[in-house]
Amino acid sequence: MDVKVSEICEHRFLLYNKDATQHLFEVSAGLDSLVLGEGQILAQVRQVVKAGEGVLGLGRNISGLFKHAITVGKRVRTETDIAAGAVSVSSAAVELAFMKLPESSHTTARMLVVGAGKMGKLVIKHLVAKGCTKMVVVNRSEEKVAAIREEMKGVEIIYRPFTDMLACSAEADVIFTSTASETPLFSKEHVKDLPPVSSEVGGLRLFIDISVPRNVGSCVTDVEGAQVYNVDDLKEVVAANKEDRLRKAMEAQAIITEELKQFEAWRDSLETVPTIKKLRAYADRIRLAELEKCLSKMGEDIPKKTRKAVDDLSRGIVNKLLHGPMQHLRCDGNDSRTLNEALENMNALNRMFGLESDLSLVEQKIRAKVEQSQK
């Protein structure tokens, strides 16, 4: 596909530093999605990390950023449960059906979907997501049903023409309707002659009508053993769930703010890595030189066990001596005091041990961080 860079640039937006991090965290948490909290975006962020493994340019900073974003996404969904609750009519229809059915019948209830258009297909997808593995779909033509069947591998989707609709309804416990018919498909006369459903599914045949205009006549509610729900009923569920998700989104923002500070602290700590490496290398050179002097004084016939014991001793001493300085080079990032101390400690170590570290870039970054935190 030959797309000019100029055309791509028309649709881009650029964010830098903290703004870019916060945006990625919000995307991963599902706060930037059309449907708040939807889970597909988190899977896409995971795919980015997987695709970037071993790719030049995806260094420690970027890799760490995306991995932290995945952690944020998982934490938001776990602690706020933001993805719970249907926020579309089709998902609400399926959620309502499972709420009304006894839990013991969730995997055995007989499902019928009338209409295989856009809404019907979404109902089928939500049914599959709920664990439904078999259903009957009534449609004018088999073409759309066949396409859905091809997409939903491992699910038994049985096609029936409209002429079989009433016969299929007689064998169904839950009936979803989503056609463009201008007149009702089910009337009181149609439904009253249907055989009763089993007590195992609650003793009521559920008609869940998500069509506008309605596919199920209002008079069907008068039929004993039938229960009808329409779009108006579902819209109340959707509206309540959307409000709930907005409240949870505010909780998610608090989590993101906390995680943002943690990530910036980790990223800031990387600035001290060159100094840490040089200090360790400096200490190790001294250790090896002194170790060689010690071993040479002990003679040539030193047992391997003794040689290893002396080597381990020298490493242990160096590690214990370096532990304190290393800890003070860690840049916590939570307040300006810690950041100032990190800069002072790096300069002090550079002067004391002649590490010749180029601290100008680090100093600029940390001073900028200090100034920002003091605003």
Residue ranges for the binding site? 115-120
CA distance 89 to 232: 10
Which positions make up the binding site for NADP(+)?
Answer: 115-120
Helices (H) and strands (E) in the chain, counts: 14, 6
**Over the range 101-110, which residues count as b (16 or more CB within 10 Å of their CB) and which as e?**
beeebeeebb
275 and 357 in contact (C-beta within 8 Å)?
yes
- The token duo for 39 is 């889970």
Q: Are strands 134-138 and 205-209 parallel, antiparallel or unpaired?
A: unpaired
252 and 350 in contact (C-beta within 8 Å)?
no
Work out the burial of residue 318: count CB atoms within 10 Å of its CB; fewer than 13 is exposed, 13-18 middle, 19 or more buried: middle
Terminal-residue alpha carbon distance, the chain:
47
